Structures are given as structure tokens and as C-alpha cells.
Amino acid sequence: MSISFPQRSGLTRRRFINGLGAGCVAAALPHPASAMASASGIVPAQASSLWNLTVDHTRISLDNKSLNAPCIGGSVPGPILRWQQGDTVSISVENRLRHEDTSIHWHGVRVPSDMDGVPGLSFAGIKPGDTFTYRFRVHQSGTYWYHSHSGMQEAQGLYGAIVIDPVHPDPNQCDRDYVIVLSEWTDVSPMDMISNLKMQDDYYTFRQRTAASFPKEAREAGNAWTALKDRLAWSRMRMAVTDISDVSGVIYTYLLNGHAPDMNWNGLFRPGERVRLRFINASSMTLFDVRIPGLEMLIVQADGNDVEPVPVDEFRIGVAETYDVIIRPQDERPYTIFAQSEDRTGYARGTLAPRQGMIGTIPPMDPRPVRTMIDMGMGTMKPGETMDDMSMPGHDMPTMDMPEMSADHTEHMHHMGPMAMPPMEVDDPGLPPLNVENQNVAVMPVDRLGSPGDGLEDNGRRVLNYKQLRATRPGADPRPPTREIILHLTGNMERYIWGFNGRKYSESGPIRLKKGERVRFTLINDTMMEHPIHLHGLWSELENGQGEFRPYKHTIIAQPGSRLSYLVTADVAGTWAYHCHLMLHMDLGMFRTVIVE
Amino acid sequence: MKQILPLAALLVIPLANATPAWAVQTTDHAADAPSDTPVVSVGHISPVMDQGRYFHGILDEFEGRYAASGTDFRWDGEAWYGSDYNKLWLKTEGTLERGRLHDGDHELLYSRAISPYFDIQGGVRADIDDGPTRTWGALGIQGLALYQFEVQATAYVSDRGRFAARFEGSYDFLLTNRLILQPQAELNLYTKSDTGRQVGAGLSDVDTGLRLRYELWRKFAPYIAFTYAGYLTQARRIAHDHGEETGSLRLTVGIRSWF
């Protein structure tokens, strides 16, 4: 089966149905203005190994924001690609953009590095008028996604879902299967966003602490003096507790399968059916908190890999992460899929219902989170306190500089005995400098894998945290790491510069790994924002206390002020991208190359 | 002016070298340490754009200062072009008072980022208005101080061997997210008097305002204000002797905008 998405001629209903198979006849056809083939969220009826994709500009208007979006077949998101594990797939990508290169990166899919689609690293990109054919064997199964790695096209609509059928029977087979792509829509160009943020870092934040919000804070703090002291302390640090998302609902309309909230995406079910929802966060700058009021969600897959089912009411999905959940709605009524942005400036929403056209109740948004000293990497310190104020018997400053062993690491040592442990090389850059490119040092970074994230702690709901992710099968590589690479995530919000170890990409060298090497990556987040860190080409096995059943991920949220580690087997040679998946952070320096040689 | 040119040239030279080695903090064991053998990207395409250059301009003050004796018009703005580390600044301010332009001060500066919040700046300043023209070499610091005060301090040396200094500061006090009260002050000091320009030795003049702006959108905010401009100490006597106003508090209306 080959799906061709022609340019300009537009997508007729007939072609739409032909393209996606008969399975989608019952699906809601989206608002005609957006002409989105994939907007039904319904997975194509059959897997195919042959695909033709055409990238072109298409004028799309959503929520009164009109954009000449670079996208595939005039559709945002692009078509859902369904592959079969074990097949060799061949995907031709034709670039019909007039003056821009393009590329497609298969996010989370293990491919040879020249098929990874990163211009400058994997290949030279696809020039206007050219066609590039990606061809690789599919080793894995699960839910993934693809997006452009050229310019800032992924922020404007060049992304879509990938569903890979497993060779073995799928333990999570359901009566219905929907892809839920969360993303953003704006008519502001990403270059303008960067330019504005370089001039004023809180350009898109209209939820700051003000004189008007002071009485409320004073009430919450107990008295005015405490609230004032807290404000002064943050102001002294030149930081804002309201610094949650760099770009907000002020310009973004949040989309669910290409539907703005008022378009209300519809998915159908019959009461009693098991429904699988494959959540993909394809946004460029927004973490979403997802729930379906009235339904328990069973998390069964994270980043394409099956995990032991975790029942939750809510989960946070970082940019570029995927989660598969199973729900079992029993009642003959509509349910709302509610995905609020982390900064609570907006939400994406859709309705699951037994009949077409039903509208679920939209819950109110939660209060916006505020950052704390934990996010600053100051542990339990109070605002305004310094390290000198802390009496820490037996814990003097210099030890902070030393590579500390994580709890998991120590656990390994106990297991294997010190003799079995190969000599460990530690690449430790030490504390990052306070310089033009870095404004904060997390002096007491903490393990936050057990936390669902800022704004979700103690909200009365069962919210997923990383410690709960347990793979259904043991890891493929039981070897302990022979090397640890410590990296600090750094940045200067005021100047809007991002990087690792106080340096942006252009001032840094590649991270070199030997082929077959087993490496522990330790991330210390010195900034007060989340960074979803994505390593191309190789799995990131999160050391979350699940031992050999640690989850395999491709994107890991490093929470502010936290320290975490994951294991990597450098089993595929090549040059790989390694970066924060907040697109503006990546483009402004939080990017490295990892060379496996 | 002759003495100033070499100084200005010296300050502008680093522009040619975008990132001098001393700007990069090297760490001994960082896995991503700068490499001696840079990796050549395929097709020389950079996967990111972290060396971008930007261009912005802002008019902080663009206002009419009302008084029964006559309305003054004042502007104070700046524009910059450059990268994270190196920028070229143009700053300009002046007051139109009864058809006469005074306090016309224009600076061309190179600035270099030196810390998380501060830049050093150096270049030339020219006092060009309806008074006698003066030229100065300038060296200063600009940035965001503790408690989020915007501050600038600049020292000047003139072509006649005189010295001057200027201190500027402002603070944005958010009443709401769009209604912002901004106290602002500028102080000028000189080592010698210059009667032609109403300048006195010591603390010479002050220009201050309390502006209440409403950000209709980020880049456009009308404001109302009380402003005070006045001469101090010796300059006050000079102005008095010339029969000029020594200082006045005025109701002011203006627009703050930027691009």
C-alpha cells in the first residue's frame, strides 16, 4: 500500500478515506478549513512498508490564526504511518517547499545514523525539488512520531504519528485504537519568538506576581511579611517564580489531533470497550498534563516500550514523549480528554463519546504552578538562605564538587561487589561556571524521579511519576557502565541562552562514545525549568530504581533542580543529535552531538 | 575628538572576533569540552542557530511634559544590533524646549557581555543640540542589578580632558501584568563647569520620572507620568544667572514602544 498526498489539489473526502482505509468512515471529519487527513486519530487499517510523503506549504487557519504551514499533504498533523516490526520500510519524502530545505526525523526509532534525518549530522537535508528516500529495517514496535529537523518546521506543523505493530501478539490489543497528537498552533514565527525572548525573557508571561496578586499570596503565606520576604528573595536572585513556560497560551492555541479546543475532536466508543489512546506530545515548547475526568487511565507503554500497567488519574507528558494508555468507559456518556499546558494558560481538549457530536464537560484548569527553591537546586533551603546559612554537619562544600554516586549506582555496587566493578571513568565537568550563559548553580540537586512534577504534587489525584515506570521485560544489556558522563543543564533566562555545562552548542565539542560502550549519563539540571532531553539513535534506560526492569526511553524530562541518570549502550555507530526537545532551547544551544565510533 | 578615535577603535576591534578564547570557560573533564579538531557537519549545515544576531530598538521615553510656561518634548531611546556577546548600541536622548533642542546626547557604543547580567560598554558620546557641541569617550557598565533594578553607570572623558559620569536606574513595579509603575532617574556629574551647556562642576543635573504605563501589547504602552528635570548645585546657579528655569515638576504623557 502506498499513500500519496498530492499537493495543492487539496484532500477530497474520497481520497481521505482511500488513504486511511475504511476504518475511518465513522470518524469525525474535521473542520474543513484544516483539511486534516490524520485528524481522526484513527490508525490506518493496515501496516505498510512503502510511503510517499510530500512536504509543501499549505495555508491553514485554526482559531483565527492563519499560517502558511510546512506540512505533509496539507495536513496538520501529518498522516499516521503504520509499520510492521521486522519490515524494511521505504519512505520517499519530496520537498516541494520553494526556498527551504526539509527533513524528517523518526523520533525514537532506531535507524542507521544516515537515515536519522538530522541535517548536518545524518545527511545534508532535502533541497527544494529533491526527493530523499529513507530506507531502514524496523527493529522495534510501539508508538512513535516523526518531525522535521530543519529550520523550525516542526513548530509550524511538520509532524505526525508512527504506529509500529509488534511481531508478537500485542498484549495491549484493544477494541479501539486512537492516536492523540498534542501540539500547538500559532501564527507567530519561531524566529520572532526567539527575537522577542532575547529582548524580554518574560515576553509571553502574563501571570507574574504583581501588586494585585499580593493580598492572595499574603493570605496563603499566613501574613504579609512572609509573602514580602519571599518576593524580595526571588527578586534578589533575579528570578521569577512564575517562569513556567517560555511561550504560552498568549499566542498558542493548543491542539488535539489538529483540532483547536472549540473544534472538539471526537472519538467514538461503545460502553464496556477497551480503548487504547496513544498520546504523543508533538508540541515544540509545551508540557501537557493529561487527564480524562471520570476515567482511570492504565499506562501501558512509555516512549514506545511496554511497561507494567500503572493506573493513574493524570500524567505529565513532556515534549516528544509518548504514553499509551488504556481506558474502559462503562457509561453511555461523553468523556473529555483534557490536556492543560503546564503553565495553565490553555488546554487541548477532545471528547470520547458513544455517539458522534457529543460534548464532554470541560473541567476548570488547575492553579498555575510556581517555582520553589527545590527548582533552583537549593534543596530544602528557604528563599534568601545561602549555603553558609545551612548547618550541615559532615557535609562540607567541597564534596559537592565530587561525582556523587547515585542510589542506583550504589545498589549496583552491592550487587556485584567492588571487585566485579570495572574501573569507572567519570567525565565530571564540576559545578558549572556562573557566566554569561549560565545564571544558576544547583548546589543541592535532588532526585525528583518520584515527583510527578511542579504543579502536580499533592493535587489529590493519582499522577504518574517516573519511578512507577517498570519495563515488562529485563534490559537487553546487563553490563554495568564503564564510564559516567555528568552533564549540567544550564541556561540564562535573562539573556535567553541555553546549553550544557555553561556552554552553548557552537562553543562545545562532541561527546565521543566507543562502539559497544556502556555509559551512564547523569544530568544535573541547574536551571529552574524542565528539559525533555532526547538522545537520537540509542536508548536511554532510566535508572529509576526498577533494577534490570528499568524503562527504555528516548526522551527524559529532567526536572528543575534535579539529578537523574540513565544508561546507554552505544550499539549503533554514527553521529547523533542529543538535545533538549524544547525547540527554542535546542536552537539556542542546548544541543550536542554524540559520536559513536 | 582626535584623542577619542583611537580609544573608540580599540573598543570596536573585538567585534571582528566574535568569540575570543577567553570567553569560553573550559572545564577539565567535561565530556563535551571544546574540541581541537572540530567536527565538520555534513554540507556545512549547523543543526542549530545559537549564533544568531538580533536587532532591536526601544523608545523608553517619547513624551510631552506639560507646563503653563510651555510644553517640552523629550525622547530617550536606544537600538542595538548583535549577538549574545557582542553588540553595537546607538543611544540617543534630547529635550525640545520652546523650539530649542538641549540635553541632546548621542552615543555609539560597543558592548560585551561579561557576566550573567552585565555588559561593559565603550565608545563615543556626542552632545549635539542647539548648544555648543562636545565629544567624549565613554566606558561603562549596564545590566540587571540585585532585586531586578536596571542600572547603567558610564564614565566619560572629553576631547578637552574633562571628566563626567552618568548614573541611570529604573525599576518595573508590576501593579498588574499590564499596568506597570516605573520609577526612573538619571544623574549627571562633571569635573568642570561648562556654562555654554549649563553644566556645573559636581552633581550637575537630574532627570527623573515616575511613569505609569499600560502595555496594550508588549511592544506598545502609553503612559502618564510625573517628571522632574532640574539643575543641581553649581549648575543651578548658572541656570539661574542665565535667567532660566532651574527645575520643574511636570505632568507628562507619552508612549513607550519597541521593536
For residue B57, what are the β-bridge partners? B79
Distance from chain centroid for Cα B108: 10
CB contact (8 A) between residue B177 and residue A207: yes
CB contact (8 A) between residue B48 and residue A591: yes
Q: What are the tens digits of pLDDT across the range A297-315? A: 999 999 999 999 999 999 9
CB contact (8 A) between residue B30 and residue A427: yes
* C-alpha cell, B115: 557576566
Q: What are the tens digits of pLDDT across the range A426-463? A: 999 999 999 999 999 999 999 999 999 999 999 999 99
Mutate to test the interface with B, among A436, A438, A484 (most CBs of B within 10 A): A436
The low-confidence residues of chain B, meaning pLDDT below 70, are: 1-28
Query: Which residues are CB-neighbours of A213 under 8 A, at least 6 positions away?
Result: none
Radius of gyration, alpha carbons of chain B? 21
Q: What are the tens digits of pLDDT across the range A174-198? A: 999 999 999 999 999 999 999 999 9
pLDDT at A413: 39
* C-alpha cell, A531: 528539559
Q: What are the tens digits of pLDDT across the range A471-503? A: 999 999 999 999 999 999 999 999 999 999 999
Mutate to test the interface with A, among B17, B24, B25 (most CBs of A within 10 A): B25
Give me the torsion for CA of B27, B33, B35, B41, rounded to 10°: -150
Q: What are the tens digits of pLDDT across the range A531-582? A: 999 999 999 999 999 999 999 999 999 999 999 999 999 999 999 999 999 9
Of the residues A127, A142, A170, which one is the last residue of a structural domain? A170
Expressed as residue numbers, the domain containing A95 is 13-170
Complex prediction ipTM: 0.88
Q: What are the tens digits of pLDDT across the range B192-222? A: 999 999 999 999 999 999 999 999 999 999 9
pLDDT at A384: 63
Confidence of residue A388 (pLDDT cuts 50, 70, 90): low
Q: What share of chain A is helix, strand, coil (3-state, %, to 5)?
A: 15, 35, 50
How far off is chain B from A148, nearest CA to CA, in Å?
A: 12
Confidence of residue A378 (pLDDT cuts 50, 70, 90): confident
Confidence of residue A386 (pLDDT cuts 50, 70, 90): low
Name which of B45, B52, B258 is nearest A125 (Cβ-Cβ): B45
Instruction: Tell me the C-alpha distance between B1 and B160, whole Å.
Output: 9
Of the residues A144, A170, A196, which one is the last residue of a structural domain? A170
Share of chain A above pLDDT 70, in %: 87
What CATH superfamily is the domain B4-17+53-258?
Answer: monomeric porin ompg (2.40.160.40)
pLDDT at A379: 78
Q: Does residue A28 lie within any of the structural domains?
A: yes
**Is residue A380 scored above 80 in pLDDT?**
no
pLDDT at A406: 42
Q: Does residue A199 lie within any of the structural domains?
A: no
Number of other residues whose CB lies within 10 A of the CB of residue A263 = 22
pLDDT at B37: 78
Per-chain mean pLDDT for chain A: 89
Domain with residue A471: its CATH number is 2.60.40.420
How far off is chain B from A473, nearest CA to CA, in Å?
A: 31
Q: Does residue A47 lie within any of the structural domains?
A: yes
Q: Which residue has the higher pLDDT, A380 or A93?
A: A93
A351: three-class secondary structure by DSSP: strand
DSSP H or E run through B11: helix B4-12
Chain A residue with minimum CA distance to B144: A238
Alpha helices (runs of H) in A251-301, residue ranges in sequence order: none
Name which of B19, B31, B176 is nearest A212 (Cβ-Cβ): B176
For residue B35, what are the β-bridge partners? none
DSSP code per residue over A192-219: HHHHHHHH-TTTT------TTTHHHHHH
pLDDT at A33: 34
Q: What are the tens digits of pLDDT across the range A32-81? A: 334 444 688 999 999 999 999 999 999 999 999 999 999 999 999 999 99
Instruction: Tell me the C-alpha distance between A368 and A287, whole Å.
Output: 13
Name which of A429, A435, A593 is nearest B116 (Cβ-Cβ): A435
Fill in the DSSP letter of residue A586: H
- When pLDDT is averaged across residues A107-124 and rounded to a whole number, the result is 97
Share of chain A above pLDDT 90, in %: 85
Q: Does residue A442 lie within any of the structural domains?
A: yes
Q: What are the tens digits of pLDDT across the range A509-528? A: 999 999 999 999 999 999 99
Domain positions in chain B? 4-17+53-258
Chain A residue with minimum CA distance to B114: A436
User: Can you state the angle between helices A224-236 and A214-221, rounded to 10 degrees?
Assistant: 110
Chain B residue with minimum CA distance to A576: B47
Chain B residue with minimum CA distance to A440: B116
Q: Does residue A233 lie within any of the structural domains?
A: no
Of the residues A170, A195, A214, which one is the last residue of a structural domain? A170
Confidence of residue A328 (pLDDT cuts 50, 70, 90): very high
